[in-house]
Amino acid sequence: MSIRSARKANSIVAKSTELALAVPQVVAHRVARMATAGPALSARDLKEFHLMFAEKGAAFAQAWQAMATQTMLANQALAFSFARSFWSASSRGKITPSKVVAQLQGAALGVLGKSLAPVHRKATANARRLARTKRR
């Protein structure tokens, strides 16, 4: 694995770990808020409950868009790389299966990283915001 791929993989692992820690905090805070809200919701509770649903859709739509865009860019880069290897006489024999696998692995890590970023950004921001929220 190249240094660049290793950095991408480490970044994905770090973001996944942060996400795994942030999500239970957000869920616990919101479930506690739902349990204590009662039948008459305050304006603050209404806003938070609305955010619960609205932000998930927005974050996942952004994740799908980022993943689709990165997939398209990776496909173009792979196609260009393969075409260049066929057209260039100087590069004949230089493309090895390990280089192809490394290029595919880098593309997959790029797609995964781009798709994880919006969800990670929103979940960790919520965890920080809700941790500052004063309990009533």
pLDDT score at 134: 65
- The number of C-alpha atoms within 13 Å of 132 and in the hemisphere containing its C-beta is 5
Domain carrying residue 76: 3-132
pTM over 0.85? The answer is no
When divided into structural domains, the chain yields a total of 1
Give tens-digit pLDDT for 48-94.
889 888 988 899 999 999 999 999 999 998 888 888 777 766 655 57
Taking the C-alpha atoms of residue 100 and residue 78, their distance in angstroms, rounded to an integer, is 9
